[in-house]
Amino acid sequence: MAPWWRRLLATRWLVLVAVALLALFLFSELGVEILEPGANRVDQATRNWVLAHQWPPLVTLCRVLTTLGSTVGTTILGLAVTAWLWLRRHRRIASVIATAPIVASAGFDGLKHVFMRTRPPGAALARITTYSFPSGHATVAAAVWLTLAYTLRRERLISRPATLALGVGWPVVIGLTRIYLDVHWATDVLGGWCLGAAIAAMATGLYEHLERRAARAA
């Protein structure tokens, strides 16, 4: 029988593969849905509700949060953490974390030009002219923070509550700010979360693969 650690790593690997496939499936379903005639009804209803409940102080807070969680800022942060870990000789973790912002940034940008979806009217007021689906903020936030939280937790560098706050809480907040500021449709953000989760699952799957190789070598 295989050692317990090999069975555990194999199980984690299978779970991460399943998560990646599920997230990609949900993303593809959303992509097909937004191309259907009349698919904007739910998004429009969500937008109408949000606009009816906008509160100026909360709008200001969302602008601050969405700036902190920008695609550029999150990518730079992810690469900065990568460099720090590399210098501290945590090269296995660094190589994993580096993949998340790079793949996420290239992925959402390319897919925007595939779907070519128009943003809600609020984007014009904010002078945002890029396509809408998927949300870059949601994609990069989910990819980077889920990867970062998972690997740091596996290395026992952060607590379980911190893992949930970083990996789930922050990407959710960033995505919701995009809807609240009327610069993205709700399905744009859902698509971004799905795409980002798939990228994170693949990145952390790479981490488990490298862990398995290291365990075998030991």
Radius of gyration of the chain, Cα coordinates, nearest whole angstrom: 18
Q: Which of 53, 90, 113, 184 is catalytic?
A: 184
Active site residue 184: yes
Active site residue 53: no
Largest CA distance in the chain: 63
Q: How far apart are CA 47 and CA 57, in angstroms?
A: 19
Q: How far apart are CA 102 and CA 130, in angstroms?
A: 19
Residue pair 107/199 in contact by the 8 Å Cβ criterion: yes
Residue partners of 188: CB distance under 8 A and separation at least 6: 117, 132, 133, 134, 135, 138, 178
Let me know the angle formed at the C-alpha of 201 by 39 and 130, rounded to the nearest 5 degrees: 45
The three state secondary structure string of 21-48 is HHHHHHHHHHHHHHHCCCCHHHHHHHHH
Q: Which of 53, 90, 113, 137 is catalytic?
A: 137
| Position 205, amino acid | G
Residues annotated as catalytic are 137, 184
